[in-house]
């Protein structure tokens, strides 16, 4: 991991973990940074930092990051998605705070629920950074399939296949909780070498 990215993550972690009174709201590190820490091969080093949370955490997390803010959080409806998104600058890295994320692709709709993902989100203490809670690979898999990111979803599937029992229960839960068309579910199963993903 580049030293500058490590330093930006330390800044982000310090700010977010100091959010508000009492325990800070739940937030998860995703995107290319999360994949890097999951040991998923990437074509290029991460250029930004993606932090995900539920809508009710948005205000406290934005306040915690305010000194890095490039404006106020705003609703975003682009690329078939919805989120309340805030933009921040930590030295040479752009951080996006993405809350209430909903992804649509054709008839498929996937709602990102941080509280649902929490139980399967790895919490790892990274030397020189601190404890980071990562978006589970099952989420990254579904998200990148819906976005058509073959470069990402094939690499994620390869890592998931190394220990499929660790990832399959959450993947099946996400399929049950969301409205995914058969072609997307079929592709998820095919990439994992499964003939029937959900029984």
Q: What is the pTM of this model?
A: 0.92
pLDDT at 198 over 70: no
Q: Where are the domains of the chain?
A: 3-192
The pLDDT value recorded for residue 20 is 64
| DSSP characters over 86-155 | EEEEETTEEEEEEEEEEEEETTEEEE--HHHHGGG--EEEETTTEEEEBPPHHHHHHHHHHTT-HHHHHH
pLDDT at 199 over 60: no
Average pLDDT of the chain, as a whole number? 91
pLDDT above 90 covers a percentage of the chain that reads 76
**pLDDT tens profile 138-189:** 999 999 999 999 999 999 999 999 999 999 999 999 999 999 999 999 999 9
Q: Which CATH class is domain 3-192?
A: alpha beta
**pLDDT tens profile 98-128:** 999 999 998 999 999 999 999 899 898 988 8
């Amino acid at each position: 991991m580049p030293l500058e990215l490590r330093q930006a993550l330390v800044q982000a972690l310090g700010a977010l973990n100091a959010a508000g009174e009492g325990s800070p709201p739940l937030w998860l590190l995703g995107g290319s940074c999360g994949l890097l820490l999951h040991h998923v091969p990437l074509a290029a080093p991460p250029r930004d930092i993606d932090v995900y949370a539920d809508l009710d955490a948005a205000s406290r997390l934005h306040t915690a990051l305010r000194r890095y803010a490039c404006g106020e959080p705003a609703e975003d409806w682009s690329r078939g998605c919805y989120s309340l998104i805030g933009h921040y600058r930590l030295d040479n890295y752009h951080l996006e705070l993405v809350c209430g994320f909903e992804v649509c692709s054709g008839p498929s709709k996937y709602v990102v629920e941080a509280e649902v993902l929490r139980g399967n989100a790895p919490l790892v203490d990274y030397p020189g950074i601190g404890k980071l809670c990562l978006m589970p690979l099952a989420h990254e898999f579904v998200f990148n399939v819906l976005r058509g990111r073959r470069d990402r979803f094939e690499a994620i599937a390869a890592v998931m296949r190394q220990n499929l029992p660790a990832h399959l229960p959450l993947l099946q839960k996400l399929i049950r909780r969301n409205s995914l068309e058969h072609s997307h579910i079929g592709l998820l199963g095919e990439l994992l070498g499964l003939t029937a993903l959900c029984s």
